[in-house]
């Protein structure tokens, strides 16, 4: 797929407008450059022969060809176009969906379904269950996936401390010995919340190796772990949270909030933003982020196709 400069700029501006950046004092020039670079990189990767072949081999959709996995571009009307492609929720072969990225704003389920009518023939083999798009607020959709939540670092650090926060300690994790304990904790969580099994998934040990990964103890007892990574938010410096995990015994005591605040104060105070994506159905994580001043700025919207 080749986008001319005007087309590329239209998609970049539209994507910036899927974020609510009010009151964040964010450098817009850096944000536009970051979106542009990531869009070009993502399109190049998804349309590469290696990636298309890898997806074909992994998902094993009967009758599919390598090029069925490429990202495509369609003009829906004058000056309005959409980039679209097939995805799988949580990498699950049983949950295919179509992701659309328009160069204009979509604010309703009805608008998205009009686009689907133009592209649905491309996806007959995949039998997609949903259509997804990003929106600056909760649009009229059937359900919502991940939500970007963000706060300025300084504001999070200035939140009131948990009364026993001084007893929280962080220690380095140097090997994979923690992983069985971590996995067991997630299995307990999925037993208690089966509806989140395909949405709130466990991180692989490999994916957390390059993060700032810390074991959390309270009074010498292991209670959880936290993994953050220095990662720009729209080109502005920030820390992205991959994981804040609390053992079942210690849930509901305000510890996740305290752990996040103290971690940021110790390891990330010089960065501008604290951010991450949280599944809208994961209410404990959503409430923890909200209580630390992180607010939703972007919603992943899903529309049922069945």
- Sort 220 into a burial class: Cβ within 10 Å, 0-12 / 13-18 / 19+: exposed
From residue 191, alpha-carbon distances to 95, 196, 197, 203, 204 in Å are 20, 9, 9, 17, 19
What pLDDT, on the 0 to 100 scale, is given for residue 102?
97
List 221's β-bridge partners, or say none. 218
What pLDDT, on the 0 to 100 scale, is given for residue 90?
85
What pLDDT, on the 0 to 100 scale, is given for residue 191?
92
Average pLDDT per block of 10 residues along the chain, 306 residues long: 92 97 92 97 97 97 96 95 96 96 92 96 97 92 95 94 91 91 93 86 87 93 94 95 92 90 95 94 89 95 94
List the strands of the sheet with 212-218, edge to edge: 72-77, 80-88, 96-102, 130-135, 295-304, 143-152, 273-279, 238-246, 221-230, 212-218, 168-172
CA dihedral sign, ordered 44, 49, 50, 56 = positive
Cα separation, 121 vs 159, in Å, equals 52
> Where do the domains of the chain lie?
5-136, 149-299
Cα separation, 106 vs 178, in Å, equals 43
| Architecture of domain 149-299 in this structure | 3-Layer(aba) Sandwich (3.40)
- Taking the whole predicted model, whether its pTM rises above 0.85 is answered as yes
What's the start-to-end Cα distance of the chain, in Å?
29
Work out the number of other CB atoms within 10 angstroms of the CB of residue 222.
14
What pLDDT, on the 0 to 100 scale, is given for residue 164?
87
Cα separation, 197 vs 213, in Å, equals 23
């Amino acid at each position: 797929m080749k986008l001319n400069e005007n087309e590329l700029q239209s998609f970049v501006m539209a994507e910036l407008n899927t974020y609510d950046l009010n009151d964040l004092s964010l450098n817009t020039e850096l944000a536009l450059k970051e979106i542009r670079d990531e869009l070009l990189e993502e399109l190049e990767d998804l349309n590469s022969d290696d990636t298309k072949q890898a997806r074909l081999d992994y998902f094993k959709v009967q009758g599919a060809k390598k090029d069925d996995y490429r990202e495509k571009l369609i003009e829906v009307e004058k000056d309005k176009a959409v980039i679209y492609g097939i995805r799988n929720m949580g990498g699950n072969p049983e949950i295919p969906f179509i992701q659309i990225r328009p160069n204009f704003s979509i604010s309703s389920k009805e608008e998205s379904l009009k686009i689907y009518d133009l592209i649905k023939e491309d996806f007959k083999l995949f039998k997609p269950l949903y259509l997804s798009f990003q929106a600056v607020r909760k649009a009229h959709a059937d359900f919502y996936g991940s939500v970007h939540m963000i706060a300025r670092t300084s504001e999070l650090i200035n939140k009131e401390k948990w009364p026993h926060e001084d007893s929280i300690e962080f220690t380095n994790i140097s090997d994979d010995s923690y992983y069985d304990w971590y996995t067991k904790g997630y299995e307990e969580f999925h037993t208690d919340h089966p509806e989140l099994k395909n949405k709130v998934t466990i991180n692989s040990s490999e994916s957390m190796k390059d993060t700032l990964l810390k074991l959390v103890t309270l009074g010498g007892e292991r209670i959880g772990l936290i993994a953050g990574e220095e990662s720009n938010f729209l080109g502005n410096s920030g820390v992205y949270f991959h994981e804040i995990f609390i053992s079942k015994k210690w849930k509901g005591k305000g510890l996740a909030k305290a752990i996040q605040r103290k971690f940021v104060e110790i390891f990330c105070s010089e960065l501008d933003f604290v951010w991450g994506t949280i599944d809208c159905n994961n209410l404990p994580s959503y409430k923890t982020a909200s209580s630390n001043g992180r607010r939703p700025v972007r919603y992943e919207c899903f529309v049922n196709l069945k």
